[in-house]
């Protein structure tokens, strides 16, 4: 059985509260650079940029400058996999919050996996590393989480790596030596 993965949770800042209060306390809006970006920022990237600008008014609205704050935000995935693969998946996300249960299909488990962006960054890089001794199905789960994060604008969390397609329809993340 090929595992299934769906992004089900994303934390977010209450910018309606933060921004007016920060403006009063700091004398500037932490959203100024993010709001003025040449290309509109995806929601989570915008919020990360606001946190970076809270700390440094001159911080550009990029993931690179917000990297120290990836721990402020969490995402959660719903995963369905066979029992053997689920054990490997849970081992790969050590330190994250996990809720596992049986499904109506014999031998298949479902789990909610929730962690900070830093935890997901680490887990994905490790699970998709060439030396990771994980099954194709388990790598597929981490490929899917990678793609989901890229789809919501967080590709730059994985700066310095490139995708190496594999014959089993998964990919590895290799250091980009360019």
The predicted structure's pLDDT at residue 176: 79
Predicted pLDDT of residue 178: 67
Which regions of the chain are under pLDDT 70? Answer: 178
Q: In this predicted structure, what is the pLDDT of residue 64?
A: 87
Helix 136-151 vs helix 117-127: angle between axes, to the nearest 10 degrees? 140
Cβ 10 vs Cβ 44: under 8 Å: yes
The closest of 120, 145, 152, 156 to 42, measured between CA atoms, is: 152
Closest CA to 95 of 109, 70, 113: 113
Distances (CA, A) of 4 to 63, 75, 133, 141, 177: 28, 16, 20, 7, 32
What separation in angstroms does the CA of 172 have from each of 75, 78, 82, 91, 131? Answer: 22, 22, 22, 18, 10
Whole-angstrom distance, CA of residue 126 vs CA of residue 138: 12
Q: Where along the chain do its domains lie?
A: 4-8+73-175, 11-70
- What's the confidence (pLDDT) of residue 85? 95
- What fold is seen in the domain 4-8+73-175? Alpha-Beta Plaits (3.30.70)
Do the bridges between strand 4-10 and strand 74-82 make them parallel or antiparallel, or are there none, so unpaired? Answer: antiparallel
């Amino acid at each position: 059985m090929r595992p299934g993965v769906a992004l089900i949770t994303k934390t977010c800042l209450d910018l309606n509260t933060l921004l007016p209060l920060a403006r009063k306390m700091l004398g500037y809006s932490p959203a100024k650079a993010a709001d003025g970006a040449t290309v509109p920022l995806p929601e989570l990237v915008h919020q990360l940029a606001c946190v970076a600008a809270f700390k440094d008014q001159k911080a550009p609205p990029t993931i690179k400058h917000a990297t120290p704050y990836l721990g402020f935000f969490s995402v959660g995935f719903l995963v369905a996999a066979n029992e053997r693969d689920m054990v490997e998946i849970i081992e790969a996300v050590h330190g994250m919050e996990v809720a596992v249960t049986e499904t109506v299909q014999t031998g298949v488990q479902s789990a909610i996996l929730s962690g900070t962006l830093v935890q997901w960054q680490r887990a994905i890089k490790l699970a998709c590393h060439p030396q990771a001794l994980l099954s194709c199905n388990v790598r597929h789960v981490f490929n899917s989480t990678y793609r989901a994060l890229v789809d919501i604008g967080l590709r730059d969390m994985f700066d310095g790596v490139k995708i190496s397609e594999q014959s089993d329809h998964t990919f590895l993340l290799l250091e980009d030596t360019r």
